[in-house]
A and B are shown apart, each in its own frame.
Chain A
């Protein structure tokens, strides 16, 4: 298993955190991680791996069972985080194009009313995202904190079932899960639990 050596623990993680911070504060804004020469094992993508390297360490837990043993091993080796069953995980790595992810989203931790921040962060891998075009994708309309009025983003490789499951998990604010959607080309958007999402097929 490859241990990443090109990733700078201080400066790459800081830059990538700033990208995540901006994306989380402005849901639907397509941000991009600064490029870094890492080689995560497929199906784990570069952007999802950047998220893991920036945020996870041995104080946190994760589940990547649906992405296979190589992905789990990669995250364990490079971050020191512990792989646990999905219901206990702080971070859950999922494939947005897989309908089976809907059940996994439903199984992720949503926090408790006195400590809602213990709800999981879901890293959802999709193939592509853009502001407008993208035939065969889903056009998401977003509103809520961080968005002045509404914003649109077109995502390819994301099943509507998974968005439904996400919306159902976030029905009872402040409980819920926060999603970081990562694309194969390095783009990311965030869908925190406060964001209201509606979608249509393009």
Chain B
């Protein structure tokens, strides 16, 4: 019989070798020092394909230590396939405790949401980013977007937003709404819904955004101004869930999933699974809610 020996050998703590971790750590520190600027990094090979959360894993595994409590969500849910598999991987590679409880976690990795609950000073949130370049939709060449960022030449972006308004009567960017960080760099907040965008600004926690496929990472430090791009007369707005309550908990004032039950009926459920659980138990964790301009 041929024994399977492939999985017998042990891995380094947190999977990535120390040298590569150190390189990513140096880049994270530089990314914090230049908020919103995309720092190129090594993006080492991982046991999952690029574009499935490798960037998030690189950042998380370079940051994580044995005492960390790790939480990972995918589109707000602790239970989706991507989150479960990456959680299992991180747990096996670090023996860290994992949790669903947002408040308990010290390191949170996320795909496409920031938790509803206010994150505190002792928490770090890592976003999995598919496309870190906000200007890619208006300029296809990397060397040109790099120069545009260097010169703070964002005219094309403003024109694109204006055109969107002229064509559709509203700025149509839904997920990944472009923001300006600390009054300088335009950054994509990764495809989080608009609902989450105001929560990046002047937040107590550190945000790390990492794109494995594109090999770049950027940061928003705590207490940093993050302003969604808007015009004087056309303001940024978040999704409105007017008179909508969650079908599972009865809660409102949270980002909702729209679920179609048949051709004619639909219901809404709170998207953030941990927040939903807490609302169900009658504890409503502290939130920061954005008021749309009238």
Name A residues whose Cβ lies closer than 8 Å to a Cβ of B: 9-11, 13-15, 17-18, 20-21, 24-26, 54-57, 59-60, 90, 113-114, 116-117, 119, 121, 144-148, 173-174, 178, 192-194
Contacts and interface: CB of A to CB of B under 8 A. Distances in A.
B23 A193 contact: no
A21 B206 contact: yes
A146 B222 contact: yes
A24 B29 contact: yes
B23 A145 contact: no
Contact of B29 (A11, A21, A59): A21
B34 A193 contact: yes
Given A24-B33, A60-B26, A117-B37, A10 B18 contact: yes
A109 to B, nearest CB: 12
B251 interface: no
B65 A174 contact: no
Contact of B23 (A9, A10, A59, A194): A59
Contacts, number: 105
Given A113-B150, A174-B34, A178-B29, A148 B202 contact: yes
B235 interface: no
Interface string B28-53: 11111111010100000000000000
Given A9-B18, A194-B182, A25 B66 contact: no
Given A54-B25, A117-B27, A117-B37, 5 more contacts: A59-B19, A174-B37, A192-B33, A193-B34, A194-B34
B182 A17 contact: no
Nearest to B148: A114
B146 interface: yes
B224 interface: yes
B28 A21 contact: yes
A13 B26 CA distance: 12
B278 interface: no
B150 A55 contact: no
14 contacts: A10-B12, A11-B66, A24-B221, A25-B206, A55-B29, A57-B19, A57-B22, A57-B23, A90-B26, A113-B151, A145-B182, A146-B221, A146-B223, A178-B29
A195 to B, nearest CB: 9
B223 A145 contact: yes
Nearest to B147: A114
> Of residues B37, B63, B150, which shows the largest number of chain A Cβ atoms within 10 Å of its Cβ?
B150
Identify the interface centre among B26, B33, B219: most chain A CB within 10 Å of its CB: B33
A26 B222 contact: yes
B37 A116 contact: yes
A124 B282 CA distance: 51
B184 interface: yes
B66 A145 contact: no
Contacts of B19: 57, 59
A117 B34 contact: yes
B224 A18 contact: no
Contacts of B31: 117
A60 B22 CA distance: 10
B32 A25 contact: yes
Top 8 closest A-B pairs, CB basis? A192-B33, A113-B150, A145-B224, A117-B30, A146-B221, A178-B33, A25-B206, A148-B223
B162 interface: no
Given A21-B206, A116-B34, A194-B182, A121 B29 contact: yes
B32 A24 contact: yes
B236 interface: no
A192 B223 CA distance: 14
A187 B282 CA distance: 43
A95 to B, nearest CB: 22
A55 B225 CA distance: 28
A146 B21 CA distance: 24
Contacts of A90: 26
A151 B105 CA distance: 27
A34 to B, nearest CB: 10
A11 B94 CA distance: 11
Contacts of A54: 22, 25
A11 B13 contact: yes
Interface string B55-67: 0000000111110
Contacts of A11: 13, 65-66
B126 to A, nearest CB: 12
A14, A20, A114 pick with most chain B CB within 10 angstroms? A14
Contacts of A148: 202, 223
A124 B99 CA distance: 39
Nearest to B185: A174
